Amino acid sequence: MYAVIATGGKQYRVEKDGVLRIELLEAAPGTTVEFNDVLLIADGDNITVGKPMLKGSKVLATVESHGQGAKVAIVKFRRRKHYLRMKNHRQKYTQVRVTSINA
C-alpha cells in the first residue's frame, strides 16, 4: 500500500514505515504530523485518485530529525567583464517516518 502526498510544493510517494526528507516543518522531533493533501492511494490493484485531493484521507508520520542538505555553490560569472559572484546555499529539511496511511 502506498500513497502520494503533497507538501512543501512537491509531491512524494510514501509507504508505511518509509523514511523521507521533506521541506522544513515547524515540529519538534518525536511529534506526529498529519498530511491531509493526499492525491492518490493504491492498495494492490485498488487505486483511488482524488480530484485533486482525496476527501477524508490522511497520512500520519513521526518527525525523526531536522537537518541541512549538502552545500551547493552558486556562481555567477561573466568573462572579460570583471564580474564574479560566489555564494553558497544549504537547504534545510525535516526527516519523517510514515506511521500510517488512512484511506
What is the pLDDT at residue 103?
A: 82
Q: Nine-digit cell at 46?
A: 485498488
- For 48-67, the pLDDT digits (tens) are 999 999 999 999 999 999 99
Domain ranges of the chain: 2-102
Parallel, antiparallel, or unpaired: how do β-strands 46-49 and 38-43 relate? antiparallel
Instruction: Identify whether the C-beta of residue 102 lies closer than 8 Å to the C-beta of residue 16.
Output: no
Q: Nine-digit cell at 101?
A: 496511511
Name the average pLDDT for the chain: 96
Residues contacting 64, CB < 8 A, separation 6+: 19, 29, 95, 96, 97
